[in-house]
Structure 1
Amino acid sequence: MTAYEYLLDHEIKPSVQRIAIMDYLLKHKTHPCIDEIYTALCKEIPTLSKTTVYNTLKLFVEHGAAKMLTIDEKNACFDGDMQPHAHFQCKVCNKIFDVPAKIDPSEAEMFQRDGFIVEEVHQYYKGICPECTGKDITKN
Structure 2
Amino acid sequence: MASNCATSALSCCPDQEYVQDKVCIPWTGTVTADDDAPVPIVVYVNNMGLNLYATGYLQYASGPANVTLQPIDSGGNNIGAPIAVSPGTTTSFTFRRFAQLQVILPESDAGANDGTYSGELCVTVRYPLA
Q: Is the pair's TM-score, using the shorter chain for normalization, greater than 0.5? A: no
Structure 1 length-normalised TM: 0.21
Say which structure is richer in helix: 1
- Structure with the bigger RCO (C-alpha within 8 Å, sep 6+) is 2
Bigger radius of gyration among the two:
2
Structure with the bigger percentage of strand: 2
